Copies of this chain bind each other. A is one copy, B any other.
Amino acid sequence: MTSARSPTYSLQEIIERFGGEIAGDASVRVRCVGTLENAGPETIAFLANERYLRQLQTTRAAAVIVGRSAREGATAPRIVCDNPYVYFARVSALLNPPRSARPGIDPAAAAHPQARIDRSAEIGAYAVIACGAEVGPRTIVGPGTSLGENVRIGADCVLHAGVTVCSGCSVGDRVVVHPGVVIGADGFGIAFDEERWVKVPQIGRVRIGNDVEIGANTTIDRGAIDDTVIEEGVKLDNQIQIAHNVRIGAHTAIAACTGIAGSVHIGRFCRIGGGVGIAGHVTIADHVEISGQTAITKSIDSPGVYSGVYPFEANRDWRRNAAQLRRLSELAKRVAALEARIAELTRDRPPHD
């Protein structure tokens, strides 16, 4: 992806920006990033996981980024730092800068005369910007993206193609929204009355803080009455569902396919695996980690790691064990009965030793 004319940086120039120290030739220049396994010339790679240590010996990378413990594991010129993955992220952003907005509104976009679009913003073809909507400086609105009435998008955002933001919702600065995301559709508010469902109007909004990223085809529903809130620095993967009136605390990261039911409050700095389900009205403390595929059915008050995954097996073994799972309560009773019977039998006989 990096074209031949992208600039190069010496290791010396890199540590002047990002810190760390150099082992080996500080004048080596790099142009692009790569994996240890597939790196070519002019490439800088990294080692973040000790299990790839052996690849340090064989990599053709021009330079590598390593932690202090792997300092002597490589012969290539290397940058030694505390957190090689974070360091790599910064170097890669230097070598692969995001493209800037190309200021202007595509002639094939439909911007309402009462929309307020910053001059430095880029509005793509077939985008729709409704009455009262606001787009901040240097923000990119991709092709076919639709912003409803009175939507507010901050500065330096990227809304990719085919995003929908419904009326009244707001998005902070430096937010990245991937294709197919829907922000602010109605929450699932229905009341059952005499054999049919009555819709409860969903009149809250969605408010999204700064530095949030939202993965492809994720949906975030507007609040029923009060708002749904995604705090700053939250990172959401693809195909996540966030129901009405959820609040997600700052800097929490959630992996793909997780579903969060209505009125759930999640703390700050949580890490939630993929395919997790969280039941309605649950509250989760700060710094909670949840394993992928776990169903959270009640609140979690303390930091820590929580799990609840059925262990998979060869189908034959699973059938055998799962059948017994349906009799587990009975089995526990049988064990208690055995214990009572043994106690009775041995009432007069103390254990041998």
Determine whether the beta carbon of A243 is less than 8 Å from that of B256.
yes
- Bits for A109-121, please: 1 = Cβ < 8 Å to B, else 0: 0100000000000
CB-based contact A275/B274 at 8 Å: no
Task: Write out the residue numbers on chain B whose beta carbons fall within 8 Å of the beta carbon of A274.
Answer: 241, 259, 261, 277, 279
Residues of chain A from 300 to 353 with CB closer than 8 A to chain B in the complex: 304-315, 317-329, 331-332, 334-335, 338-339, 341-342, 344-347, 349, 351-352
Interface: A249 (CB within 8 A):
no
Mask for A201-234, Cβ within 8 A of B = 1, else 0? 1011100000101011101010001100000010
Does B345 contact A161, Cβ atoms closer than 8 Å? no
Contact across chains for B311 and A297 when beta carbons are under 8 A apart: yes
A126 to B324, CA, bound (A): 57
> Smallest CB-CB separation from A222: which chain B residue?
B1
**Which of the segments A22-30, A33-41, A67-75 contacts the partner chain?**
A33-41
- Count copies of this chain in the complex: 3
Fill in one digit per residue for A186-198: 1 if any B CB lies within 8 Å of its CB, else 0: 1011111101111
Q: Which of A142-156 contact B (CB under 8 A)?
A: 142-144, 146, 148
**Inter-subunit contact A1/B205 (CB<8 Å):** yes
> A172 at the A/B interface (Cβ < 8 Å)?
no
CB pair B219 A2 closer than 8 Å: no
Interface pair B297/A275, CB less than 8 Å apart: no
Using Cβ atoms and an 8 Å threshold, which residues of chain B touch A193? 83, 86, 89
Closest CB in chain B relative to A270 CB, distance in Å: 12
- A90 with B277, Cβ < 8 A, contacts A328-B321, A342-B341 known: no
Residue A267 at the B interface, CB < 8 A? no
The smallest C-beta distance from A249 to any residue of chain B, in angstroms, reads 13
Q: Is A164 an interface residue (CB 8 A)?
A: yes
Is A247 engaged at the interface, CB distance under 8 Å to the other chain? no
Given contacts A143-B146, A164-B216, list 19 more A-B pairs with CB under 8 A.
A86-B198, A89-B193, A110-B143, A142-B146, A160-B185, A178-B185, A188-B256, A190-B213, A217-B239, A219-B239, A241-B256, A277-B293, A306-B315, A307-B315, A311-B322, A323-B329, A327-B332, A328-B328, A338-B342
17 contacts between A and B (CB under 8 A): A86-B198, A160-B166, A164-B180, A182-B216, A219-B239, A237-B241, A241-B256, A241-B257, A306-B315, A307-B315, A307-B318, A308-B310, A308-B312, A308-B313, A311-B325, A341-B342, A341-B346
**Nearest 10 A-B pairs (CB), nearest first?**
A308-B312, A257-B259, A305-B315, A185-B216, A293-B295, A275-B277, A164-B179, A320-B329, A307-B318, A182-B216
